[in-house]
Homo-oligomer: A and B are copies of this chain.
Amino acid sequence: MVNSIVLPIKKVFSLVDSKITVEIKDDVRKLQGRLVAVDEYLNLHMDETFEMTGDKRGRNLGTVVIRGNNILSIAPVA
């Protein structure tokens, strides 16, 4: 029923080792960093992570694991 070639998660797997922006549900902050690992629930392991509020860089978080269900969106850093 689902063509595995086009699964949305494949797009995220293709971003491992590159910089991503993660929008958190109900949160003005975004997180930006390098994607180290991702699983089928979109749980993310990131490093070199920092907070962004609007276009302004905020706190450094370093290494962090983010639970997938609280993520709104994942996008490559342009």
Contact = CB atoms under 8 A, between A and B. Distances in A.
Interface of A: 1-2, 4, 6-13, 16, 24-27, 36-40, 42-45, 61-76, 78
Contacts of A6: 16, 36-37, 45
Contacts of A9: 39, 43, 65
A73 B62 contact: no
A67 B69 contact: yes
B42 A62 contact: no
Contact of A39 (B2, B37, B75): B2
A64 B70 contact: no
A37 B11 contact: yes
Contacts of A71: 67, 70
